[in-house]
Amino acid sequence: MSPARLRVLGVERVGPYALLRLGRGPLDPGTPGQFFMLRPPGLVVPRPMSLCLAPPGELAFLVDPVGAGTRALAGLERGDGVHVVGPLGNGFRLDVQRPLLLGGGIGVAPFPFLSARLGRPPALLGFRTAQHAEAAALVPNAEVVLEPTLVTELLSPGFDVLACGPEPMLEAVGRLEPAAQLAWEAPMACGFGACYGCAVEIGGRLARLCVEGPVLGGRVRGQIPAMAGKVAAA
């Protein structure tokens, strides 16, 4: 799959995060939970990002500036070019009866797009601080909790849970709701199965998360992807 060079339409601050808005070019937004590989000028290895919003003619990504790659993306300016490949991987299944979006921190990134596709279902979102929680404004019908309260404390039975967030949160959700759909993360260098940088252990075998995930169904419960040898994307 060859990269498209997309133009930056704008970068908006959302608490400590940056909402990077790109012209869509020839790319399809795909299914919520799928991801795109973004390479800003100056980087050799692209970085995986979930699609956050897909307004007409745009693709928007919510970026947490945690390292060199994400800081480069958050620091882009209108008119800059970004190499983008995608959509990649497997997103959330949308054939659910009673959806509940459950997320933590930058894990809320795919939820605005997911919420739009599912008809604005309820969402339970957890954040470290009130500043981080500003991202909840992007997700309709969201109930917000701040640490030390955990989103899993408010989870009641009877929902089809679609979750994205830090690994301990996903593990807890998988234990409470075996049928939940969980969006996992691993460092990724290629995004399409070629480098094995995203290899994780699922049920005693190595699997490439970029190909088999990032969204995995509850059926892998008890075989939660123990993150095997995280290979840093240089």
Phi, psi for residue 163 in degrees, rounded to 5: -125, 150
Residue 87 or 197: the one with the smaller Cβ distance to ligand FES is 197
If binding is defined by CB under 6 A, does position 47 make contact with ligand FAD?
yes
* Span of 45-53, 90-98, 138-146, 217-225 interacting with ligand FAD by CB under 6 A: 45-53
User: Is 107 in a helix, a strand, or coil?
Assistant: helix
Task: Give me the least distance between CB of 157 and ligand FAD, in Å please.
Answer: 28
If binding is defined by CB under 6 A, does position 109 make contact with ligand FAD?
yes
Structure-block tokens of residue 155: 């989870």
What are the DSSP E strand ranges found in the chain? 4-14, 17-23, 35-39, 47-50, 58-63, 81-88, 99-104, 123-127, 142-146, 160-164, 181-183, 199-202, 205-208, 215-216
Q: Which does 189 bind (CB under 5 to 8 A by kind): ligand FAD, ligand FES, none?
A: ligand FES
Q: Which does 49 bind (CB under 5 to 8 A by kind): ligand FAD, ligand FES, none?
A: ligand FAD
Contact criterion met (CB below 8 Å) for 3 and 84 = yes
If binding is defined by CB under 6 A, does position 38 make contact with ligand FES?
no
The residue of the chain with the least Cβ separation from ligand FAD equals: 67
If binding is defined by CB under 6 A, does position 208 make contact with ligand FAD?
no
If binding is defined by CB under 6 A, does position 41 make contact with ligand FAD?
no
| Contacts of ligand FES in 91-130 (CB under 6 A) | none
Distances (CA, A) of 44 to 56, 61, 111, 224, 233: 30, 20, 29, 31, 10
Residue 159 or 164: the one with the smaller Cβ distance to ligand FAD is 164
Query: What's the angle, vertex CA 17, arms to CA 36 and CA 141, rounded to 5?
Result: 85
If binding is defined by CB under 6 A, does position 72 make contact with ligand FES?
no
If binding is defined by CB under 6 A, does position 68 make contact with ligand FAD?
yes
> Among residues 121, 174, 197, 214, which is the contact residue for ligand FES, using CB under 6 A?
197
If binding is defined by CB under 6 A, does position 127 make contact with ligand FAD?
no
Task: Give me the least distance between CB of 95 and ligand FES, in Å please.
Answer: 26
Residue 52 or 144: the one with the smaller Cβ distance to ligand FAD is 52
User: Is 224 in a helix, a strand, or coil?
Assistant: coil
Q: Which does 103 bind (CB under 5 to 8 A by kind): ligand FES, ligand FAD, none?
A: none
User: Checking DSSP bridges between strand 215-216 and strand 47-50, what pairing results, if any?
Assistant: unpaired
Bridge partners of 35, per DSSP, are 50, 88
- H helices then E strands: how many in the chain? 4, 14
* Span of 1-9, 59-67, 142-150, 154-162 interacting with ligand FAD by CB under 6 A: 59-67
